């Protein structure tokens, strides 16, 4: 019997996709959960897996455009093949090993186990990065060019960047923040945080909490324009920009005002890992009220972030550099970061924007303010 392979539903606004790559060619014998092909949309990429064992037939080619519900192949199988118990996949073995290791950690005591894990991580040999592939050399006088098709995600990124420039009154204000207090807290509680929550205490959770505090104080930044109305959000969903091979995408951490630092760090780490593997859903990329982007991880010292419509604001983080600053009439060296806040001037006035950024700066320079809500 034949089991049809159809293009699945991938979100309300998605009606078509492009065949990005084919992992298993026609005629291949596949098992349940084997990767068959990858679909590319204007928001996310999605891998289709075999739902039955048997002989695969693929009726599409790479770069073909397909629609939701379209039959794009089939698997020739039988009841006997379906009833056969497949060997345990490597994924399950890995989970079993992880479970045994976790139980071992419980037996030996959480603190000692975590220290062992950290030591193992430090002792792992560091693999040298692969040398970049050299570009093909042109002969003297030759003008070589290559051409490749723009991906759907890149098309949407380009479209939205132009839209932001053309449909908003976008301005940017700048400031700098002394991260001494944040770095001191991270150093003091680094090991304990990993021990208790199993995730590193990064900078982003501090910035998310500082943004939430500022959004509470200046609600215009948590608003958007709908026709002739300004709509204010009564919740705090923060988009965190993540760079991937396919381009920049912005998964949204929901209800950040209700989350702990550990929950924010865990959500961001999960999003980042799944974003790079193409495992995010459309829902996870929609509905954010404010965005934070960190160009500092790539070495950017200062930049002007572009709005993510219909959002009113986006905060740009940058590289931390030790610089001489004046504190109490004394020149001292502090870890400083430039902050950039781009905003829609149709909703927010310049004075409000400056005050919003100063609020973020003050909350980061004295993190206890965020705990006491002052």
Residue 59 known to be catalytic: no
pLDDT tens digits for range 279-297: 788 788 888 999 999 999 9
Whether the CB-CB separation of 210 and 373 falls below 8 Å is answered with no
Note every long-range contact of 331-338, with CB atoms under 8 Å and residues 24 or more positions apart, other chains counting: 334/178, 334/179, 334/180, 335/178, 335/179, 335/180, 335/183, 336/176, 336/177, 336/178, 336/179, 337/176, 337/177, 337/179, 337/296, 338/174, 338/175, 338/176, 338/301, 338/302
Q: How far is it, in rounded angstroms, from Cα 65 to Cα 9?
A: 15
Considering 59, 63, 187, 345, which one is annotated as catalytic?
Answer: 345
Q: How far is it, in rounded angstroms, from Cα 318 to Cα 304?
A: 10
Residue 345 known to be catalytic: yes
β-sheet bridge partners, residue 5: 73
What mean pLDDT is predicted for residues 159-176? 90
The percent of residues above 70 in pLDDT, for the chain, comes to 83
**Residue 100 DSSP SS3:** helix
Please report the pLDDT score of residue 148 as a whole number: 82
Residue with the larger pLDDT of the pair 230 and 149: 230
Q: Dihedral sign, CA of 106, 110, 116, 122?
A: positive
Please report the pLDDT score of residue 307 as a whole number: 93
Considering 63, 148, 349, 373, which one is annotated as catalytic?
Answer: 349
What value does the mean pLDDT of the chain take? Answer: 84
pLDDT tens digits for range 169-197: 999 999 999 999 999 999 999 999 999 99
pLDDT tens digits for range 77-132: 887 776 665 555 544 444 455 445 444 444 444 444 444 444 444 444 444 445 55
Domains and CATH numbers, the chain: 2-83 (2.40.50.100), 90-120 (no CATH), 153-372 (3.30.559.10)
Query: Within 13 A of 216's CA, how many CA atoms are on the CB side?
Result: 15
pLDDT tens digits for range 291-348: 999 999 999 999 999 998 899 999 999 999 999 999 999 999 999 999 999 999 999 9
What mean pLDDT is predicted for residues 6-24? 81
Query: Within 13 A of 61's CA, how many CA atoms are on the CB side?
Result: 0
Residue 165 has pLDDT above 90, yes or no: no
């Amino acid at each position: 019997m034949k089991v049809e392979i159809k293009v699945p539903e991938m979100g309300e606004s998605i009606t078509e996709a492009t065949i990005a790559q084919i992992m298993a060619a026609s005629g291949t014998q596949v098992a349940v959960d084997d990767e068959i092909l990858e679909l590319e949309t204007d928001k996310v990429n999605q891998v289709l897996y075999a739902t039955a064992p048997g002989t695969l037939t693929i009726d599409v080619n790479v770069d073909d455009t397909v629609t939701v519900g379209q039959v794009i192949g089939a698997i020739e199988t039988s009841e006997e093949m379906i009833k056969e118990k497949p060997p345990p996949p490597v994924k399950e073995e890995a989970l079993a090993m992880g479970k045994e290791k976790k139980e071992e950690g419980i037996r030996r005591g959480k603190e000692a186990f975590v220290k062992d894990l950290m030591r193992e991580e430090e002792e792992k040999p560091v693999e040298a990065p692969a040398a970049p592939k050299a570009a093909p050399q042109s002969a003297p006088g030759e003008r070589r060019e290559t051409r490749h098709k723009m991906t759907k995600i890149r098309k949407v990124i380009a479209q939205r960047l132009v839209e932001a420039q053309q449909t908003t009154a976008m301005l940017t204000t700048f400031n700098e923040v002394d991260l001494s207090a944040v770095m001191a807290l991270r150093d003091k509680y680094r090991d304990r945080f990993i021990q208790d929550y199993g995730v590193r205490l990064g900078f982003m959770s501090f910035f998310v909490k500082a943004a939430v505090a500022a959004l509470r104080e200046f609600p215009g930044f948590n608003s958007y324009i709908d026709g002739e109305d300004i709509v204010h959000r009564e919740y705090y969903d923060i988009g965190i920009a993540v760079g991937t091979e396919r381009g920049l995408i912005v998964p949204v951490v929901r209800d950040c005002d209700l989350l702990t630092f550990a929950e924010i760090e865990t959500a961001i780490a999960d999003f980042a890992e799944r974003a790079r593997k193409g495992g995010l859903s459309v829902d996870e990329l929609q509905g954010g009220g404010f965005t934070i982007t960190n160009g500092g991880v790539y070495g950017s010292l200062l930049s002007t972030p572009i709005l993510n419509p219909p959002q009113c604001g986006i905060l740009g983080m940058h590289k931390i550099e030790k610089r001489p600053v004046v504190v109490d009439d004394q020149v001292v060296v502090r870890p400083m970061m430039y902050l950039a806040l781009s905003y829609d001037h149709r909703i927010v006035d310049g004075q409000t924007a400056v005050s919003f950024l100063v609020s973020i700066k003050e909350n980061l320079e004295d993190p206890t303010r965020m705990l006491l809500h002052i």
